Amino acid sequence: MIPKIIHFIYVGGRPFSFVHFLAIYTAMKVNRPERIYFHHTEEPAGEWWALARPLVTMNRVPPVTEVFGNPVTYLAHKADVIRLEVLRQHGGIYLDLDVICINPFAPLLQHAVVMGIEPGTGLCNAVILAQPQAPFIERWQAHYRTFDAQQWNHHSVVLPGKMAKETPELIHIADKYNFFYPTHNDPVHAYLWGVRPSLKALALRMGKNALKLAAMWVARNGDPIKRAYYQTFHGLRGNEWHYRRARKSCSIHLWEGLWGEPYLKQLGPDYLKNSNANFARLMRDILSPAEIESIAQGRIADAA
């Protein structure tokens, strides 16, 4: 069994924001873990950190400068190295600080390792569930002997995808609708933020997926045909369908590096209370009006 503990990692860079607070708060509210660990090379600051800190168990970790003798310079890669070691030692549920929990991970805890698909790339490491000393995690770590910082997402996303194909018995794969829907490059993500996707973007996306569907149909390639069909035509669905689809997910990844400026900077308690966008609706499904008001006033005692 995967332990019912949750891990977050902070290695500096972006200030601790409302999104980061919401990630920790929804992880607690939705999953009711035994403990939430906050592994950090430096402690954040600010009003949202002050509100989040009582919810977590602090664990300072040494800064990462290398892995197997290979230099590690980018903050994202430093966090990659830390998360695998934390999961190898302790197991549990790792979440990026821009992952918002919608439904419990509990039904997945019977597996050895669980990751979700990042379409067209591999397995996204923003959400990883693992048992302690899981062979998949240990093998993944060992591959860091060939780490090269110039291959930006090779070891973090592409590599685990290849490993899963080679040793499928070591990992359970959740599709993109379970952990990461909507993805950053899917035009329907606009519905999450209260706008309509452009017709041009939808047409280009559907045309690309239709070609994949045709190729799979000719090859009579079973389950991939079903997935390609779903991915091809979900762009024709309206706002309400996409809200209901997201409501079934375990989590939503807010792709902070890409969505920060256009969407995430507007987020706060008032947005959750007043917006009709699907993201605000999802949060109101999880958080009561009293909780949101308490958070707006800088309190979580009543909400927790």
pLDDT recorded at residue 81: 97
pLDDT recorded at residue 229: 46
- What secondary structure, in 3-state letters, does the chain show? CCCCEEEEEECCCCCCCHHHHHHHHHHHHHHCCCEEEEEECCCCCCHHHHHHHHHCEEEECCCCCEECCEECCCHHHHHHHHHHHHHHHHCEEEECCCEEECCCCHHHCCCCEEEEEECCCEEEEEEEEECCCCHHHHHHHHHHHHCCCCCCCHHHHHHHHHHHHHCHHHCEEECHHHHCCCCCCCHHHHHHHCCCCCHHHHHHHHHHHHHHHHHHHHHCCHHHHHHHHHHHHHHHCCHHHHHHHHHCCCEEECCHHHHCCCCHHHCCHHHHHHCCCHHHHHHHHHCCHHHHHHHHCCCCCCCC
pLDDT recorded at residue 120: 78
Query: Cα 208 vs. chain centroid, distance in angstroms?
Result: 25
pLDDT recorded at residue 186: 83
Q: What percent of the chain has pLDDT over 90?
A: 74
Per-chain mean pLDDT for the chain: 90
pLDDT recorded at residue 166: 96
pLDDT recorded at residue 225: 44
Indicate the pLDDT class of residue 303, thresholds 50, 70 and 90: very low
Q: Residue 231: how many CB atoms within 10 A of its CB? A: 22
Query: Cα 127 vs. chain centroid, distance in angstroms?
Result: 5
Q: Where do the structural domains in the chain lie, given as residue ranges?
A: 5-179, 182-248
**What pLDDT, in 10s, does the model give residues 123-177?**
999 999 999 999 999 999 999 999 998 888 999 999 999 999 999 999 999 977 8
Q: Which CATH class is domain 5-179?
A: alpha beta
**What pLDDT, in 10s, does the model give residues 61-83?**
999 999 999 999 999 999 999 99
pLDDT recorded at residue 85: 98
pLDDT recorded at residue 119: 80
pLDDT recorded at residue 200: 65
Question: Average of pLDDT values for 262-288?
Answer: 96
**What pLDDT, in 10s, does the model give residues 178-234?**
999 898 888 888 889 998 766 565 556 666 666 666 665 666 555 554 455 455 567
The vertex-149 CA angle with 93 and 137, nearest 5°, equals 30
